[in-house]
Structure 1
Amino acid sequence: MAHPNAHPVIAVQGGGAPAAPTLLGQGPARIPTGGKIRAGIKVLTKKAAGEPKAQAIYEQGVAAGHSFEQIERAITEALPDLKTPLVPRNVPWFTVRAQDFPNPEIAREILDAYGEDRGDGRRLYRFPVVFPSDYWQAVMPHELAAWGAHEKHYWSQYSADGRVRHCMCHAPVPVDETGRRTIRLFGGRKTMVREDNGGGLCEPESCREYQQRQCNLTGRFLFFIPGIRSISAFELHTNSFYAMNAAIQKFETVGFLRGGRISGFLDRQRTPFYLTKKLMEVAHIDEQGRALRVPQWIIDLEAPVDVTALLRENEDTETALIQAQLATQVLQGSSVAASAEPLQPEAAESQAVMATEVASVEAPPLREGRPSLEQLMARAQAYGIAPERYQAYADRRWGRGWKINPHGRARAWDELERYGNDPQGYLDKIESELHLASRGRAS
């Protein structure tokens, strides 16, 4: 049975064997963050704007670069009757505030490097980003979530097979046998399926919180900014279905052209993605069920790259290294049947049959170190992998253009090589990846 942490969310460039599990490494890998860029601003409600004290606190907080959470907290402390004194406002720029970064100097660096003055002061309208993973689910995590004042109350999560979406919540803190003292927890609070919500299923149309607008789609982009020094990624939150859906299409298009890669710079000219905003007519259903269209500034992911350059062969070092490695393996006649561990007689016989089948699909040898699609599919079948499952997995991992891109085919062949001694392990990996992809699409 495969270990639950055998396939981390974050792709490590260059591949290699997965790291051994550790006491603190059992969960899926996450991208650490160290600062927020916000999609808009918050302004005083009509009621709060009528309070001179609230107006003064708001203006002082904005001038001092405080976060809107800090400003709102200061207003509610001074005027307890104002429960929600601030509301979001859609604007064409991004908000960069010193208090949203552990190192406040980073906010100034970002505005100095990429800010523009379009007549309303220096603002951040458009800025370059580089993503740290080839999985869009890792660089744009998202979920349905209901938040309270200080923590998340409920959130969506898919089952291990990616077929059922559950409503999750925090589990009650356990107590000892006396019932008077809580048990000290290792690793933080535990989670559980919410029992009082239709058997724990996440069904927005029948969910009380979703219908009352307490539960909403929420997501964030995780990225680095060229020229801004930080070991942690930055994040940009969004609740826009349109922004996230359009970004997924851009990610998949770029992955199609780059053999599955969306991380790093896009080409040899060090072209990054860009995040900006675009004014769009967005469909909106009012309380009477009427479809309305309202203009909104929506986050837009740009990839200003020469598409033909992405399709050229042998344009980057990684492709050359992979091809050299494959050519060396062919010249040396490396055997996929070699095994470092002794086998039981039944397992040895099965492994020998598998090795014979794999060897048969390796003749004729690879042309110039580049596998053909037929060789790849035949070898996958020899591992016991159904062609349609391998095709679905490869499309997700390297983009749908992997079949016509020598770089993509080389990476696929290299991965098959690594699992030559463990076909069942590779089949388990493929099934796990497809379940993860299915869960990400439906979130």
Structure 2
Amino acid sequence: MNAVIPLGAAPVRSIVEERAPRAPVIGRIRPGIKVLTSAARQNEQAVRLYEQLVAAGESFEKIGDEIERRCKIRNALAPRNVPYFTCRRADFTNPDVADEILRLYGEDRGDGLKLYRFPVVFAFNDWMANIPNEMATWGTTGRKFFSEYGVDGTRFCKQYAKPERDARAQRAQRNFGPRSIILREDNAIPDGVCNPQGCPQYQARQCNLSARFIFAIPEIKGLGLMELPTNSIYVLQKAYSAMQTVALARGKLTGTRFWISKREFEITRINEQGEPVRQMQMLTVLDADIDISALLDGAEDQPPALAAASEAATLLEGATNVYPLTAATEPAGAPNDGPLEGMALVPETGEGSGGQTGEFHEAETLEEKRERMTDLLSRLGLSAEDRQPNFRVFAHATYGRGWAQRPADVDGMNARLEAALENRDALDREIETAVREAKPN
């Protein structure tokens, strides 16, 4: 009988298997559009060319290149935030996929068929695999500098090493495998640590957060995933919180149908003069088809609290650690995928804002209260698999059935958890008492 070798334990058999596998991406959905600048609109040929290529479904990169080639106008396009997402044939390896997405999920609200809201399913249970991100400076040939975290959580600034020269051949040595990555060590960053405050690229708005959501769209066929780029720190913060909430409730991210849409919020940003300016902005929102409150409560139809907690705990697992990133502005050399817009319920930087941080002035919603609770549970270690059942018993015994649906009770729980950050022993004793009293005699 042949032995079964676990996945990942088999010996490497090919040069291809030496490298970490990457999910193939077959298309890109963009968070906004690009329009002609005021200067480019003065050129009639550029206007006609723009309208023709947009109608033909060409990518904005090709439209910009064609306008530059034919009209001799550089940087003719500027990003603009709109209530819908851009889904163009030229952005997919199989152009028919774009048409199918619009056919299934597009809406005509009086301005033609547009993609206002669509479902997504993530392929990985690790949120970082679903949203790879970094601080990066882009040039014409790709990344120049980029961030990576060390094992101790330090964010380092790195770059590709220059290939060594072959003295005999009088040329650079051929590189075998991936390009070598080294710490950036120059006058600006002497110790290799990513420090935006002292980084000339960040201060010159050449370095920015570079991230992309990678997902599948239900009912869309193709051997690969799709992506949605973003450069907003608020996007990652809210998406991380949403994913951790789902992971806490279900124990995994795969199999949950999320929905991506846009909503308009009033935000306050800081302009170039350091003054607050209020404006309306369309922000992308990530929702999920899941009843978080029922799962957090242990389900209404479960009779004993302990039994409900034990059964529901099999659906849960601990949260993943995340290192915070520093907000940045639009990189000058990066591929421009649209306005500074992101997947978040809190506001973020907008076009022309100077990359300053926005503020959100509406009251905290129940969803946001639960997201804050998820973060507190993770920080206290209560999202660990062996501690989740006891926490459910404690919550049920303290606030009763349906507590997670009542904002006042969620606030009360958050207050207890925040206090436990300073005194964990008191909360541990309360949980132990609740579990002991819930056990049948």
Deviations 1:246-276 (A, max 9, x none): 11111111111112x11113xxxxxx11011
What SS does the aligned partner of 1:71 have? helix
Q: Do structure 1's residue 119 and structure 2's residue 104 form an aligned pair?
A: no
Cα separation, 2, equivalents of 1:184 and 1:402: 56
1:18-417 correspondence to structure 2 within 5 Å: 18-20=8-10, 22=12, 23-80=15-72, 82-159=73-150, 161-178=151-168, 180-196=170-186, 197-199=188-190, 200-259=192-251, 261-265=252-256, 272-307=257-292, 310=295, 401=388
Deviations 1:1-56 (A, max 9, x none): xxxxxxxxxxxxxxx66433534445554332111000000011111111122212
By how many angstroms is 1:393 displaced? 11
Percent of paired sites with the same residue? 41
What SS does the aligned partner of 2:182 have? strand
Q: Is the 8 Å Cα contact of residues 256 and 400 (structure 1) preserved in structure 2?
A: no
Query: If the length of structure 1 is used for normalisation, what is the TM-score?
Result: 0.64
Q: Is the 8 Å Cα contact of residues 256 and 399 (structure 1) preserved in structure 2?
A: no
Q: Is the 8 Å Cα contact of residues 242 and 298 (structure 1) preserved in structure 2?
A: no
Residues 246 and 313 from structure 1, CA distance in 2 versus in 1: closer, same or farther, beyond 3 angstroms? Answer: closer
Cα separation, 1, equivalents of 2:86 and 2:284: 13
Residues 41 and 95 from structure 1, CA distance in 2 versus in 1: closer, same or farther, beyond 3 angstroms? Answer: same
Cα separation, 2, equivalents of 1:372 and 1:236: 33
By how many angstroms is 1:394 displaced? 7.5
Letter in 1 for 2:265: M
Q: Is the 8 Å Cα contact of residues 313 and 385 (structure 2) preserved in structure 1?
A: no
Q: Is the 8 Å Cα contact of residues 222 and 233 (structure 1) preserved in structure 2?
A: yes
Paired residues, number: 313
Superposition RMSD on alpha carbons, in Å?
3.1
Cα separation, 2, equivalents of 1:138 and 1:237: 14
Q: Is the 8 Å Cα contact of residues 211 and 230 (structure 2) preserved in structure 1?
A: yes
What SS does the aligned partner of 2:172 have? coil
By how many angstroms is 1:396 displaced? 7.2
Deviations 1:293-325 (A, max 9, x none): 3322111100132235545989xxxxxxxxxxx
Query: If the length of structure 2 is used for normalisation, what is the TM-score?
Result: 0.64
Letter in 2 for 1:163: G
Cα separation, 2, equivalents of 1:312 and 1:138: 29
Residues 226 and 294 from structure 1, CA distance in 2 versus in 1: closer, same or farther, beyond 3 angstroms? Answer: same
Letter in 2 for 1:91: V
Runs of 5+ unmatched residues, structure 2:
1-5, 300-309, 318-377, 394-441
Cα separation, 2, equivalents of 1:403 and 1:191: 45
Letter in 2 for 1:92: P
